[in-house]
Amino acid sequence: MKKILLAMFVATMLLSTHAATAQDGDKKLRWQGFETNRFWDNWEIGVGGGASSLKVANRSGVKDPGKFFDRIGWNANVGFTKWVAPIIGMRLQLDGGEFQNYSLNKKAYGGGAFKTPYIFVHGDILVNMSNWIGGYRPNRIYSAISYVGFGYTAMSWTKKSAGSYNGEYAFSSGVLNKFRVSRQWDIELDLRSWIFAEKGLPDQIQSGGRFAFAMSASLGVAYRFNQRDWTPAYSAVEVDGYLAAILLLEEQLLRNGEHLADANKRVESLTADNKRLSSDLEACRTKRPDTKYVTMGEGVVFFNIGEAELTDYAHATLDSYIAAIAEGDAPISVTGYADRETGSAERNEQLSMERAENVKAYLLAAGIAPSRITTTWVGDTTKAFDSPDTPMVNRCVIIK
């Protein structure tokens, strides 16, 4: 264990030496926004004194004999502290004093107080909570510093003390309250506790438990020599440059956000237009027209003189016409004609009617709906065509 303690102490000193070497070699280290100082800067030496107390009756149902204030002893200490940053520091301290306790075995040792001198050598890691939480300020009046440490406690080495020499390794923790009174001087109130195995106590005051607890409160002063304050890691010019760059980036971010908002609005508008056009397209695909009209020209069916029967030529003409109008539902007018150069007016009236009815019958036979067909005849009272001026062009039926 002694080798472990020595190794921890050497490692701590090497860490401090490394920081000092880097600084002395003009390689400025930066930590938490501040430059580390040289090895001989930010050292403190402190002295103090106060009261101490030892608690040994830690078994269930057993109380320490004697009143609390009757078991108060005294202590004095001297320590050396090196701050490696505004928040982190290391301390080596020698603490000595006297515990005053009463024996739990009055038959063997009597009922008087046993005065037990002690020496406690320990190393501590200090954390300045005020600088950590509130930020470093060179003119800070009060600082609360917590610490934990490890060391060795030796007791009872004089003839007047109880028992024979004993010693044990101990773990310590506490709060160091620093009150700054000038640039180099502080007043310190150190509240500390440490724990160690009870077997390290003299036999007269052992309680049979596993651990003993010691507490002390000391008031003293500390002097910090060489440089005390910390240098910011960045100059005012650098900080102003960083702030200007940050402001510029914030302005660019704001403009980009506005552009993005405009783009999002445009996308939303285009998306709405796209949905509307898709809906219109789907409606056009599914909607059926109310009425089917087929654009077509006139159809003319010619007959032989004095006849109303459909010829093969008439059949071909009608078949072509029917193919063009079959899918539609537009109305169809069928008008029969006769030439006035032959036959009487009565005969031509009858002949034009028969010709119109025969054409209608052919259309019906081809599947044309009767409701679409309107049949009329005009005999020889009206010419079907004025040109050419020949009787045969009026022996016909015109379909529209």
Q: Looking at residue 234, what is its pLDDT?
A: 61
Angle at 34 between CA 31 and CA 39, to 5 degrees: 80
Distance between CA atoms of residues 302 and 392, nearest Å: 8
- Residue ranges of the chain that CATH labels 3.30.1330.60: 299-399
187-214: b (≥16 Cβ within 10 Å) or e:
ebebebbbbbebebbbebbbbebeebeb
Q: Looking at residue 3, what is its pLDDT?
A: 44
User: How buried is residue 68: exposed, middle or buried, by Cβ count under 10 Å (0-12/13-18/19+)?
Assistant: exposed
Least confident among 95-99, 158-162, 280-284, 286-290: 158-162
For residues 21-32, average pLDDT:
42
Distance between CA atoms of residues 330 and 326, nearest Å: 10
SS3 content of the chain, % helix, strand, coil (to 5): 35, 35, 30
Note the pTM of the prediction, 2 decimals. Answer: 0.52
Q: Looking at residue 36, what is its pLDDT?
A: 64
Q: Looking at residue 21, what is its pLDDT?
A: 38
Q: Which helix (H) or strand (E) holds 251?
A: helix 236-286
CATH fold of 299-399, please?
A: 60s Ribosomal Protein L30; Chain: A; (3.30.1330)
Task: Label residue 145 by pLDDT band (50, 70, 90).
Answer: very high
For residues 283-310, average pLDDT:
73
Q: Do 52 and 98 meet the contact criterion of CB atoms below 8 Å apart?
A: yes
Q: Looking at residue 253, what is its pLDDT?
A: 92
pLDDT at 171 over 90: yes
Q: Looking at residue 82, what is its pLDDT?
A: 94
Distance between CA atoms of residues 128 and 232, nearest Å: 17
Residue 166 C-alpha from the chain's centroid? 59
Please, how many CA atoms are within 13 Å of residue 69, restricted to the half-sphere of its CB? Answer: 0
- Residue ranges of the chain that CATH labels 2.40.160.20: 2-225
Task: Label residue 100 by pLDDT band (50, 70, 90).
Answer: confident
Q: Do 118 and 145 meet the contact criterion of CB atoms below 8 Å apart?
A: no
Please, how many CA atoms are within 13 Å of residue 289, restricted to the half-sphere of its CB? Answer: 6
Q: Looking at residue 22, what is its pLDDT?
A: 43
Q: Do 195 and 215 meet the contact criterion of CB atoms below 8 Å apart?
A: no
| pLDDT tens-digit series, residues 36-73 | 667 888 899 999 999 999 888 766 667 778 788 888 99
Average pLDDT, the chain: 82
Distance between CA atoms of residues 100 and 112, nearest Å: 10
Query: Can you tell me whether residue 32 is helix, strand or coil?
Result: coil
Nearest in space to 54 (alpha carbons), one of 111, 105, 98: 98
The token pair that represents 12 in the structure block: 């701590």
Nearest in space to 20 (alpha carbons), one of 85, 110, 96: 85
Nearest in space to 86 (alpha carbons), one of 147, 43, 127: 127
Phi, psi at 107, each rounded to 5°: -65, -40
CATH fold of 2-225, please?
A: Porin (2.40.160)
Q: For residue 249, give every residue at least 6 positions away whose Cβ sits within 8 Å of its Cβ, in sequence order, or none.
A: none
Query: Can you tell me whether residue 262 is helix, strand or coil?
Result: helix
Nearest in space to 155 (alpha carbons), one of 103, 97, 213, 229: 97
